[in-house]
Amino acid sequence: MASGQEAALKKQQDLQSQYTNYKNTLQSLAQKVGEIEQEIEEHKSVTSILFRQVFGLCLIFRQEMSNTDSSAMGRLVMETLEPLPQDRKCFRLINGVLVERTVKDVLPALKTNSDGLKQVLEELLKQYKSKQDEMDRWKASL
């Protein structure tokens, strides 16, 4: 009988050992799951902060682009040149070089540049709006 009791005791110890191993493994996995969930929450928090910072910078950029003084300056130059005689001498800065031209040469170039800049600005604002909407959708998916 002693050997039967020893075998039963051995079997019980093996079962207890297996149970303890399973329990420890499950606790370890649960701890890792908790750590990963915490990292995900931290990532969401950091992502949210970065999103707000980028969004703020984009708003500032957008405001600066719409309130730019260069377009007002270009308008002022064109308004100044329009009433002048077409053959009057004027100067234009091209790539850092001051070039002598006439009003009839400079005025169309200024208008073309101004129109081109307006188109580029409008396109950039459209792209900005598109990216902003995309970022909003991405943020909502988190």
Per-residue pLDDT tens over the stretch 37-59? 676 666 556 556 656 666 666 66
pLDDT digits (tens, 9 = 90+) for 78-98: 888 888 899 988 888 778 888
Same domain, 74 and 39: no
CA distance 86 to 69: 26
> What is the span of the domain harbouring residue 75?
69-142
CA distance 124 to 19: 64
For 142, which DSSP code? -
Same domain, 127 and 102: yes
Same domain, 95 and 63: no
Structural domains counted in the chain = 2
| Domain termination site, one of 30, 50, 67 | 67
Q: Does the model's pTM come out above 0.85?
A: no
